[in-house]
Amino acid sequence: MGTGTFTSSVIDSNTNFTSRPPEFSIIPEPVSLLKTNGSFTLPDKVVVLATPEMKLVVDYLKEKLSVPTGKFIAEFAHTQATGTIRLVLNPRPDAALGNEGYQLSVTPTMIVIKANQPAGLFYGVQSLLQLFPKEIESKELVEGVTWKIPCVEVTDYPRVAWRGLMFDVARHFFTKQEVKQYIDAMVRYKFNLLHLHLTDDEGWRLEIKGLPKLTEVGAWNVKKVGDFGTFSTPGADEPRTYGGFYTQDDVRELIKYAKDRFVDILPEIDVPGHSLAAVVSYPELSCTPGAETYRVRSGERIMDWSKGAPPIALVDNTLCPANEKVYAFLDTVITQVAALFPFEYIHMGGDEAPINYWQKSDAIKALMAREGLKDIHQVQGYFEKRVQKIVESKGKKFMGWDEIMENDIPTSAAIMSWRSPKFGIEASRAKREVVMSPQGTNYLDLMQGDVTSESKVYNSVRLGKAYEFDPVPAGADPKYIKGGQGNLWAEQVYNIRQAEYMTWPRGYAIAESVWSPKEKKNWTNFASKVEQHFHRMDVAETKYSPAIYDPVIKASRTADRQVMVELTTEIDGLDIYYSFDNSTPDRFYPKYTEKVVIPKDANQMRVITYRGKQAIGRLLTISVDDLNKRAGKR
């Protein structure tokens, strides 16, 4: 089975999803699914029995069914004796289902979805839609499809309450319509939380009344393409017209759109680091003389990461903890954010704040003497505590990245654990609320295939690795784990199509990890479902990465220091063919069966995967120089 790093509780050696698709491909895997006798075929006139409090669910269901099928969908109250689809809110709540669980019953004559709350009905609808042929995802009428589904009994409810995706709209701006498009894809997989990263060095994306320069100046930079972080410094004559922001009315519209689909939106204002856009807009917020010469970052290098975290700042992208104007500024911002976003938390960042400019600041030194702060790290602790008080004074809960734990910040501060699971484990044991989003499994900006086929970044998370995510890791106190999420940072994500490509299918893996019971997770079964959802996304015109079909390429050295290449696949049923002679391999070329030594004068290796007689992976070309580097020193 490929690399050997993926495990499953049950592996049937005779099962090969490549030749026999699974009968049911619901993602995330339900708690319980029982196939019963017969099938249900959608009639020409579909009657939905519902009550007024189910309106959001009914409207969604009617649109999803009527557009691709062309069927007439009628809605009646429960006084009608019969109907095609019956939605029921349990008069006596079923404790096992909670607020988001559901029961789905499909018989030859009727579909019934029961839940305690409308959210549960909505998630029941998502599972129901996944039983239909893939064409149900079409945005236009599809002819010639028999709209038939198998009869089943499903009982389902989520493992954790917080099931999120973070969308970084600061590094590159995404329009209101594009954010809605992202939400539409999320809800198919029962995500209920969209974390919007609204501010960073590259842009401030939220209108704040009384602080117009945040969006007049801070929302715009110079358009650059290529490898982010290596761009030349923009010249004075290059137009700063790339970017954008959301008005407060835009945000209200997005919140309603999300809420109509049972999604909450968590706003993030990232401070005190990652704040260059704010500093450029209002230079008096900086500790550093000359900040008025700074410009919103366009992707040029502004940090030196060679010595690890915190980085050495080349420009001071921090707010000044010693400046009272900063806290007045943040009070204004947080007051409006709290009024705008109904969600109970406000995320205030706190990650990767460089300290080298603070170390040189007389104002910081005076603050340390006055407050008895022993080192620069306690300076950030002082800042975080003051910001937490502001957030809580507005009736909201304070959340930050796991770095904020490095000082004795009150335990009412919630933690988003990103550096590794251990920080989330520690936070839960300290009785802090925790959302798990460890970069090793959950960072959707990282490469998901070989570097030859991906935008190069510092690390990779293949689909199988993402599937290993456990939102309640061993050693954590489950009482304090709110849930988990995947994080899509957008430094190298220039448009919504790339955002989709980076999110899916790893988003499937995160979804199943936070919804399905741990014992129901099974890599072989999950991988078999992924391909069926690729077909569904093709119909929905949602982009995804096919990296699961590409081989994993490793290089090592033999005893006599020759380079030896090992090729594995994440999924079963694929054959790998290769060449060293600069030609394009197909299935008549050498088939990979064991580690291969690079021929003496070869300058590149080309590989491709096949399923039977059909090419399925991408053609990958790896230079011998690259393979030498992967193999390490001679």
What are the residue boundaries of the structural domains of the chain, listed by start? 32-156, 162-540, 550-631
Which residue type is seen at 630? R
State residue 164's pLDDT score: 98
State residue 86's pLDDT score: 95
Which CATH class name applies to 550-631?
mainly beta
Contact by Cβ (8 Å): 397, 344: yes
State residue 77's pLDDT score: 76
State pLDDT tens for residues 334-356. 999 999 999 999 999 999 999 99
Q: What are phi and psi of 556, to 5 degrees?
A: -145, 180
pLDDT at 108 over 80: yes
State pLDDT tens for residues 527-554. 999 999 999 999 999 999 999 999 999 9
pTM: 0.95
State pLDDT tens for residues 143-184. 999 999 999 999 999 999 999 999 999 999 999 999 999 999
- 368 burial (CB, 10 Å; 0-12 / 13-18 / 19+) is buried
Strand (E) or helix (H) holding 410? none
Band of the pLDDT at 634, cuts 50, 70, 90? low
Contact by Cβ (8 Å): 122, 60: yes
Q: Taking the CB of residue 348, how many other CB atoms lie within 10 A of it?
A: 27
Residue 312 to residue 363: CA distance in whole angstroms = 20
Mean pLDDT, rounded, for 211-226: 96
Q: Taking the CB of residue 210, how many other CB atoms lie within 10 A of it?
A: 9
Q: Specify the CATH number of the domain 32-156.
A: 3.30.379.10
Angle between helices 496-503 and 506-515 (to 10 degrees): 50
Residue 317 to residue 204: CA distance in whole angstroms = 13
Mean pLDDT, rounded, for 80-101: 91
522 secondary structure, DSSP code = B
Residue 571 to residue 577: CA distance in whole angstroms = 16
State pLDDT tens for residues 554-597. 999 998 889 999 999 999 999 999 999 999 999 999 999 999 99
> In this structure, what token pair is assigned to residue 482?
């709110």
Q: What count of residues does the chain have? A: 634
Q: What is the widest separation between alpha-carbon atoms in the chain?
A: 82
Contact by Cβ (8 Å): 448, 463: yes
Tell me the average pLDDT of the chain: 94
Same fold, 162-540 and 550-631: no
Place of tokens 């009628």: 74
85, 87, 90, 112 from 77: Cα distances, Å: 12, 10, 15, 14
pLDDT at 401 over 50: yes
Q: Which of 554, 553, 548, 594 is nearest to 573 (CA)?
A: 548
- For 433, the 3-state DSSP assignment is coil
State residue 453's pLDDT score: 92
CA atoms within 13 A on the CB side of 234: 20
Q: Which of 503, 537, 496, 507 is nearest to 136 (CA)?
A: 537
pLDDT at 292 over 80: yes
Which range, of 13-22, 214-223, 513-522, 575-584, averages the lowest pLDDT?
13-22
Q: Which of 48, 26, 32, 42 is nearest to 153 (CA)?
A: 32
Angle between helices 176-187 and 248-259 (to 10 degrees): 20
Residue 294 to residue 313: CA distance in whole angstroms = 13
231 secondary structure, DSSP code = B
Contacts of 114 (CB under 8 A, 6+ apart): 88, 89, 90, 94, 102, 103, 105, 124
Which residue type is seen at 140? E
State residue 22's pLDDT score: 80
Residue 597 to residue 564: CA distance in whole angstroms = 4
pLDDT at 80 over 70: no
* CA-based torsion, 452, 455, 461, 463: positive or negative: negative
> In this structure, what token pair is assigned to residue 530?
């992924």
CA angle centred on 170, ends 380 and 272, rounded to 5°: 10
pLDDT at 358 over 60: yes
Residue of 153, 352, 468, 566 marked catalytic? 352
Q: Which of 11, 24, 277, 227 is nearest to 131 (CA)?
A: 24
Report CA dihedral (281, 284, 288, 293) to the nearest 10 degrees: 40
Q: Is 284 a residue of the active site?
A: no
Band of the pLDDT at 81, cuts 50, 70, 90? low
> In this structure, what token pair is assigned to residue 309?
């975290």
Domain 162-540 sits in CATH 3.30.43.10? no
Residue 63 to residue 61: CA distance in whole angstroms = 5
Band of the pLDDT at 19, cuts 50, 70, 90? very low
Cα Rg, the chain, nearest whole Å: 26
Where do the H-state alpha helices sit in 418-563?
421-429, 439-442, 463-467, 496-503, 506-515, 523-540
Which residue type is seen at 376? I
Which range, of 38-42, 309-313, 450-454, 579-583, averages the lowest pLDDT?
309-313
